[in-house]
Amino acid sequence: MIYRENGQFKTSYKNDQQVFAVTQDRIGIWLLLAFAVIGVPLLADEYLFRAVLIPFLILALAALGLNILVGYCGQISLGTGAFMAVGAYAAYNFMVRIDSMPLLLAVLLGGACATVVGVLFGIPSLRIKGLYLAVATLAAQFFADWAFLRISWFTNNSSSGSVSVSNLNVFGISIDTPAEKYLLCLGFLVVFAVMAKNLVRSHVGREWMAIRDMDVAAAVIGIRPVYAKLTAFAVSSFIVGVAGALWGFVHLGSWEPAAFSIDRSFQLLFMIIIGGLGSIMGSFFGAAFIVVLPIFLNQALPALGALVGVTISTALVAHSELMIFGALIVVFLIVEPHGLARLWSIGKEKMRLWPFPH
Amino acid sequence: MGPFLETLIGGLMSGMLYSLVALGFVLIFKASGVFNFAQGAMVLFAALAMARFSEWFPELLGFDNKLLANLLAFGGAMLVMVAVAWLIERLVLSKLVNQEGITLLMATLGVTYFLDGLGQTIFGSEIYKIDIGLPKDPMFLMESTFQGGILVNKEDLYAAAIAAALVVGLSLFFQKTSTGRALRAVADDHQAAQSIGIPLSRVWVIVWSVAGFVALVAGMIWGSKLGVQFSLSVLALKALPVVILGGLTSVPGAIIGGLLIGMGEKLSEVYLGPMLGGGIEIWFGYVLVLFVLLIRPQGLFGEKIIDRV
């Protein structure tokens, strides 16, 4: 009754091609954005910013990048942590070695370096497919792990191998409170999400999806696999590199190569699988799920135990988190292999008809 | 020449140990088409079971003979692995029958986390010992030809022998028994095998149990070398390049891939490592596999990937 499109006629091509074609959708997204920009900084406390919101924003950005590669172009990549590391360390080197380098430029240049590395490690995808490609991208992951640990030029010859950044400022405004960091990440995320959504609706996006669905047939009808696959790697690595730079600069402040290990790659892959492959919205849902779940379990498990009268030790909580996480992944994959985004679109379909059954 | 041979032999033997873990991957992929990321967690789970059972059984049943304790622990751990295989087949595999590869891969990743947590909950999270009587002292070969002789680790030699025996046993199982024939039929074509009456779910339970047995042997050997601790589950990541190099569907490929990667890792660490700053073992295997895949995209002995368009 509320979500009906009756009476919404499009009278120009521009209107017909809108991302949010239904007025209720458009109002909803503007309200959400307004809440995110104005409401959340007023209502959230520092813990919520540091532990939930900022990681969610940055990891949603990285999941967006990975979704473009895996969900839209069909190339399985397990090396995302490496590309994040390249973005972070490159941005760090630009900041440290060039005086008065603006933060935004350093982050974007870090993304550009990640693009170069991503295209380099994407070249095997022209020859290798499927699971073999997944393991080949692990080569990128382990190589980056080693390179940032052993090659001291990358860490500006720091003795401990960890680097740190401080005093962030954008256009003269210094970014030190959690609310300001949150707004900076939100800005990056909104810009990149709009760019990504437009990219996947353009001819490049259609080429990616054609390669994903049937790459031989796509090549037969004239889509160049080299161009499509390498641009997918390039765009994806750029976004992931920017996310990595943000992760190091804004969320961590100081980091070492272990922050971008293979666990990070798996975490991002889980996000896009649970959120929904091939869906921009899905990256957000997946990131929210994976970021909130450990925190929720951490609070809920001892509370549940206290309810039953059993004190659960922290070790047991940690092990149970692993078990519940693993079990939830499997349950999710069985119940809805297309992810939360599919559940969302099913919900919207039902809302269109509500309160009628059909 | 002496140090070179030493490094070579050391590499070959550590390669055999990798192929033990890789065998589990290949077995499961051959028969059910699932890339079982949980193999490492299964190695850890099996090793934990065996280590703890070899402590608990003597206490519970009140005897002191170490050989008997080890045998009973092995049998108990094997039963546990069969139970795990059956549960995985019932709860995970049969529900995800026609899904794409990446979904199954993610499901096995979920199983990995679950087994990690479960193993540590039931069996504890400290470092445990497995003592199956492998001699730990080194041996010096060819003392007359090379000065000081070539150092060969007796434990690795025994492990390599056990691995070779396992491979021979598995090949005999696959070629000579009717169950082995059924497994090979399922590996070739699920639907055809089902249509001639081979019970698919039972075959999958058998395959995962055999993979569990291989994981148990691997866990036993690695556990007696390193002690049973969490890092065993990271072994899977070291065995992945072996699987891919040999080809996902080939048992001899797993062995030869293991030997090549083991050899390559050790030799590169000793000869290339000092030039590049050391520690290149972690990525050498993967980069080697990357280059081989560029020339042969299906691995050295894998089946050619045929695309139907």
DSSP A12-71: SHHHHT-SS-SHHHHHHHHHHHHIIIIIHHHH--HHHIIIIIHHHHHHHHHHHHHHIIII
Mean pLDDT along residues A29-45: 93
HSE value, Cβ hemisphere, 13 Å, CA-based, for B296 = 15
pLDDT of residue B96: 84
How many angstroms separate the Cα of B60 from the Cα of each of A238, B57, B69, B158?
60, 5, 11, 31
Q: What is the mean pLDDT of chain B?
A: 84
* pLDDT beyond 90 at A204: yes
Q: What is the ipTM of this complex?
A: 0.86
Domain extent listing, chain A: 22-261
* pLDDT beyond 80 at B307: no
Band of pLDDT at residue B20, cut at 50, 70 and 90: confident
**Chain B residues touching A70 at Cβ < 8 A:** 102
Bridge partners of A254, per DSSP, are A164
* pLDDT beyond 70 at A67: yes
Q: Could you say which residues from 54 to 113 on chain B have a Cβ atom under 8 Å away from some Cβ of chain A?
A: 91-92, 95-96, 99, 101-103, 105-107, 109-113
- 3-class secondary structure per residue, A161-216: CCEECCCCEECCEECCCHHHHHHHHHHHHHHHHHHHHHHHCCHHHHHHHHHHHCHH
- Decide which of A142 and B102 is more confident: A142
HSE value, Cβ hemisphere, 13 Å, CA-based, for A52 = 13
* pLDDT beyond 80 at B74: yes
Whether B93 is in a domain gets the answer yes
* pLDDT beyond 70 at B149: no
Structure tokens at B84: 């795990």
Q: Which of A160, A157, A119, A158 is nearest to A140 (CA)?
A: A119
Q: Do residues B304 and B298 touch, judged by C-beta distance below 8 A?
A: yes
The pTM is what? 0.90
Measure the CA–CA gap between A35 and B72, rounded to whole angstroms: 63
Q: Min CA distance, B77 vs chain A (Å)?
A: 20
Place of tokens 């649970």: A274
Which of B35, B115, B277 has its CB closest to that of A151? B277
- Interchain pair B244, A70: CB under 8 A: no
Measure the CA–CA gap between B51 and B69, rounded to whole angstroms: 10
Q: Min CA distance, B140 vs chain A (Å)?
A: 34
Mean pLDDT along residues B45-61: 86
The percent of residues in chain B predicted with pLDDT above 70, rounded, is 97
* pLDDT beyond 90 at A176: no
Q: Min CA distance, A167 vs chain B (Å)?
A: 33
**Chain A residues touching B44 at Cβ < 8 A:** none
How many angstroms separate the Cα of A289 from the Cα of each of A19, A52, A293, A322, A328?
24, 11, 6, 15, 11
State the total domains in chain B: 1
How many angstroms separate the Cα of B158 from the Cα of each of A46, A338, B4, B67, B139?
58, 48, 22, 17, 12
pLDDT of residue B148: 66
Band of pLDDT at residue B1, cut at 50, 70 and 90: confident
Q: Min CA distance, B287 vs chain A (Å)?
A: 6
pLDDT of residue A281: 92
Band of pLDDT at residue B277, cut at 50, 70 and 90: confident
**Residue-wise pLDDT tens digits, A115-164:** 999 999 999 899 888 888 888 888 999 999 888 888 888 888 776 778 88
Band of pLDDT at residue B77, cut at 50, 70 and 90: very high
Region for residue A310 given its phi and psi (left: phi exceeds 0; alpha: psi -120 to 50; beta: otherwise): beta
Mean pLDDT along residues B139-155: 72
Task: Classify residue A138 by burial, with Cβ atoms within 10 Å: 0-12, 13-18, 19+.
Answer: buried
Whether B251 is in a domain gets the answer no
* pLDDT beyond 90 at A207: yes
Q: Which of B65, B84, B45, B68 is nearest to B228 (CA)?
A: B45
Highest mean pLDDT among A5-14, B160-169, B186-195: A5-14
pLDDT of residue A198: 94
> Minimal Cα distance from B242: which residue of A?
A135
Question: Which of A146, A262, A316 to mutate to test binding with chain B, by most B CBs within 10 Å of its CB?
Answer: A146
* pLDDT beyond 70 at A248: yes
Mean pLDDT along residues A90-108: 90
- Interchain pair B299, A266: CB under 8 A: no
**Residue-wise pLDDT tens digits, A277-332:** 989 999 999 999 999 988 888 888 888 878 877 777 778 888 888 898 889 889 98
DSSP A259-312: GGSHHHHHHHHHHHHHH-TT-HHHHHHHHHHHHHHHHHHHHHHHHHHHHHT-PP
- Give the domain range for residue B221: 24-230
pLDDT of residue B201: 86
Structure tokens at B272: 């290339």
Q: Which of A81-85, B86-90, B124-128 has the lowest mean pLDDT?
A: B124-128
Q: Hey, what amino acid is at A23?
A: T
- Interchain pair A328, B112: CB under 8 A: no
Whether B68 is in a domain gets the answer yes
* pLDDT beyond 70 at A345: yes
Band of pLDDT at residue B226, cut at 50, 70 and 90: confident
State the count of interchain CB pairs (< 8 A) between A and B.
140
Three-state DSSP at B97 gives coil
Q: Could you say which residues from 254 to 293 on chain B have a Cβ atom under 8 Å away from some Cβ of chain A?
A: 276-280, 282-283, 286-287, 289-290, 293
A211 touches chain B (CB under 8 A): no
Phi and psi at residue A163, in whole multiples of 5°? -120, 160
Q: Min CA distance, B94 vs chain A (Å)?
A: 10
Place of tokens 């630009």: A94
pLDDT of residue B138: 76
Measure the CA–CA gap between B46 and B51, rounded to whole angstroms: 9
* pLDDT beyond 70 at B223: yes
HSE value, Cβ hemisphere, 13 Å, CA-based, for B211 = 33
- Interchain pair A139, B286: CB under 8 A: yes
Q: What is the mean pLDDT of chain A?
A: 90
